[in-house]
Amino acid sequence: MRPVYLILSVALMFLLHSCKKDNSNVAGTKPGYAAPAGAPTVYAGTPFNSLFRDLRYVPEIKCVAAGKLTTITFSRGTRLTFYPNSFKDGAGNLITTGQVCIELTEIYKTGDMIANRVTTMEGGTLLASGGQVLIYASRNGEKVFPNKYAIAFKQPAPSSIPMGLYAGNSRNTDSVVTWGAIASPIPGTRDTVTPSAWGTGLWYRFDSCNTFTWLGCDSAYAHTGSRSSIKLVVPDLDVTNANTQAFLVIPSINACANFQYNSSTPLTLNVTDIPDGVSAVVVVISKRNNKYYYYQSASFTVGSGISIDAYTTEQTLPYIKAQLAAL
């Protein structure tokens, strides 16, 4: 009988281990975590996200008491205001007790966008950006949903650009984050379309948030003149559309567009409908044989007939991060 007891004991131990809940795997806490449906799509485990996971930012986590009016400020200035009825569970039940933990990734500069594979594109429309964030909320390891809360994006200087609130997702071929305008504010809410003073800074503030996801403070870039396409060729022999991605940065409006695949051998990419006359920079990042390669062009003025040959060079991860931070 002893072998039977031994087999039963081992089986019981395996069952208990298998059923143990791993709360450390809450979406957003582990780069490359394959998230369940509904978790932030940046962790969806797509090939590009896996290739570039070492560049992505680790979310900042702050916890608040549910059922109370609370404002929290994150390290780069983003403010979230939660009301007594802001949180609910997956069944729609109001959460008014316990701690709700907020995971926030702040993206305010074009280098941040590239590192986290975020664009400022709404379909084919280029957006000027006042900041973007990824928000995920949980309580005791379970996803939490919002009823209504406010978000404020801190600005470096006064601006006359009328910003709106956008929602983002990365469920597309390249798995980069693109945007769609949130149609209208929730009734009874107040949104500011130009920065207003609050404490010791300036913020665009939106009180019409009812989703935890990618949120952007953006505006369609108004340009009535001509537009052009830019051709990019990456001639390196081992470069493919699966290990290389390119971005067009327009610093004056804090904008970032991703190049689209055109053909291979050599890898050829295009970006279209870019306003003529703006100054831009091209950035190419590639990861081949577990090594990073990088290319960054000098600033140039967008116009017709531009074609760029981008020869990437092997670089360290700290070097690439420093280059992106300087954009």
Q: Minimal CA–CA distance to 27: which of 165, 169, 201, 143?
A: 143
CATH class given for the domain over 41-220:
mainly beta
Q: How confident is the model at residue 18 (pLDDT cuts 50, 70, 90)?
A: very low
Please check the confidence at residue 44 and state whether its pLDDT lies above 90.
Answer: no
Please give the Cα distance from 78 to 147 (Å, whole number).
19
6-10, 127-131, 136-140, 212-216, range with the lowest pLDDT: 6-10
pLDDT the model gives residue 91: 97
Half-sphere exposure of 279 (CA within 13 A, CB side): 6
pLDDT the model gives residue 192: 78
pLDDT the model gives residue 124: 87
Regarding beta strands 214-220 and 145-146, do their DSSP bridges make them parallel or antiparallel, or are they unpaired?
unpaired
- Fold classification of 227-325 is Immunoglobulin-like (2.60.40)
pTM (two decimals): 0.83
Please give the Cα distance from 176 to 178 (Å, whole number).
6
Tens-place pLDDT, residues 197-255: 777 789 899 998 999 999 999 999 988 899 999 999 999 889 998 899 999 999 999 99
pLDDT the model gives residue 5: 44
Please check the confidence at residue 40 and state whether its pLDDT lies above 80.
Answer: no
| Sequence ranges of the domains in the chain | 41-220, 227-325
Please give the Cα distance from 59 to 74 (Å, whole number).
10
Report the run of H or E that residue 272 belongs to, with start and end.
Answer: strand 267-275
| Spatial contact of 167 and 215, defined as CB atoms under 8 Å apart | yes
Q: Could you tell me the two tokens for 115? A: 């590192």
Lay out the sheet containing 260-263: strands in order across.
260-263, 267-275, 227-234, 306-309
Please give the Cα distance from 190 to 199 (Å, whole number).
18
Please check the confidence at residue 54 and state whether its pLDDT lies above 60.
Answer: yes
- Which amino acid would we find at residue 159? S
The position carrying tokens 């060079």 is 313
Q: How confident is the model at residue 33 (pLDDT cuts 50, 70, 90)?
A: very low
Q: Could you tell me the two tokens for 147? A: 């009823």
**Mean pLDDT score, 86-98:** 97
pLDDT the model gives residue 43: 38
**Mean pLDDT score, 2-29:** 38
Please give the Cα distance from 211 to 88 (Å, whole number).
11
Tens-place pLDDT, residues 144-158: 999 999 999 999 988
Beta bridge mates, 244: 286
What Å distances lie between residue 99 and 63, 102, 300, CA to CA? 6, 10, 50
Q: How confident is the model at residue 178 (pLDDT cuts 50, 70, 90)?
A: confident
